[in-house]
Chain A
Amino acid sequence: MKCLNDIEIMEFISDKLDAERKAEVQEHLASCSECSQRVQESSTLWDTLGQWEVDIASHNIADKVIAKIEKSESTRKHPKFFARHEFLMDALKIAASIIIAIGIGQKLGKISAGEKPPAIASNQESPEYIAALGLDWAGDFTWLVMEEDSSSQENE
């Protein structure tokens, strides 16, 4: 057998060679002082490097990792919450428009019941149809009617 290369020496020292190869190396070392010398030197280096131990006892990675994952899983559930929230907002909008409609209905109801139409703010010109509806210009629900009106104009 020819002399050992550097990698073989390191693999021999760290006991990573298979049994067959290990036996061959040992046989060679018995008859080759040069390789024995190199193995001896490398072995010393191996032991010196081995003195650097690190103390890991104080770390607990498992619990921290699981806590982190559980935290991020719960934030990932937020979009679902917002989706539900959005649905709630829609429900609120519908409820609000019903209340507004009732409000208008009451105002209109007052007119049909023969009450005196409310006064129109003197310093502002009120569109005739607002007055005809008996609503205050710049009053309670006027904006609503105006808005409806402008949007219907856009549609034309």
Chain B
Amino acid sequence: MDNMTDSQTNETELMRRLALGEMDALSEIAKKYQNRVLSLAYRFLNDWSKSEDIAQETFIRIYKAAGTYKPQARFNTWLYRIVVNLCLDEQRKQAKAPISIEETMYNGASDSESSSIERKETIEIVKKAINELPERQKLAVILHRYENLSYDQICEVTQWSKSAVESLLVRAYANLREKLKKIENNIK
């Protein structure tokens, strides 16, 4: 949190260079933020190929917006807002179209390996529990738990009210606690 201001100054400078057409600046931004964008999109959508598309689209939008970028909003927040909107759009598209077998198979071979069977089972249960949450609870909890955003930052990114985010997070964690109770007992 302490170097947030330094980082913001740096990002403002990168955006200024990008506005002048320096593609190196975009490359730097993409390298710095791609992991955050991809992990958020993947946890939310469970699909690497769609998450890649979203990540690419995010940085293309940043490139297009460089000329009009105003550093008032924290760069981080602004970037997450783009990703969140793209994810919600994609989720709504997916809700209309049935998922193909190919996509489901592609999803299977993805998460970090090198884990014991028990750990793998835990991860599968965690994934399932999160994916079963209602859309907004899912998004709030991913931003809070995995992207490490504070509850205030989640409000800024989603533009939902404080009371809405608070209630979403409380319900999401309560739901997850319920769903995961079994495995928590097994781990102990």
A: which residues have CB within 8 A of B?
Answer: 6-7, 10-11, 14, 16, 41-42, 44-46, 48-56, 59, 61-66, 68-70
Q: Tally of A-B residue pairs with Cβ under 8 A?
A: 110
Report how many residues on chain B are interfacial, defined by Cβ distance under 8 Å: 46
- Interface residue SS majority, chain B: helix
8 Å CB contact of B122 from A14, A48, A54: A48
Give the Cβ gap from A11 to chain B, nearest Cβ, in Å: 6
- Is the Cβ of A65 less than 8 Å from the Cβ of B123? no
8 Å CB contact of A56 from B34, B113, B177: B34
- Is the Cβ of B145 less than 8 Å from the Cβ of A46? yes
Give the Cβ gap from A33 to chain B, nearest Cβ, in Å: 19
B96-152 interface (Cβ within 8 A of A): 110-113, 119, 122-123, 126-127, 130, 141, 144-146, 148, 150-151
- In Å, the complex CA distance between A49 and B173 comes to 10
Give chain A residues whose Cβ lies under 8 Å from the Cβ of B82: none
- Is the Cβ of B122 less than 8 Å from the Cβ of A53? no
B: which residues have CB within 8 A of A?
Answer: 23, 26-27, 30-31, 34-35, 37-39, 42-43, 52, 55-56, 59-60, 63, 110-113, 119, 122-123, 126-127, 130, 141, 144-146, 148, 150-151, 166, 169-170, 173-174, 176-177, 180, 183-184, 187
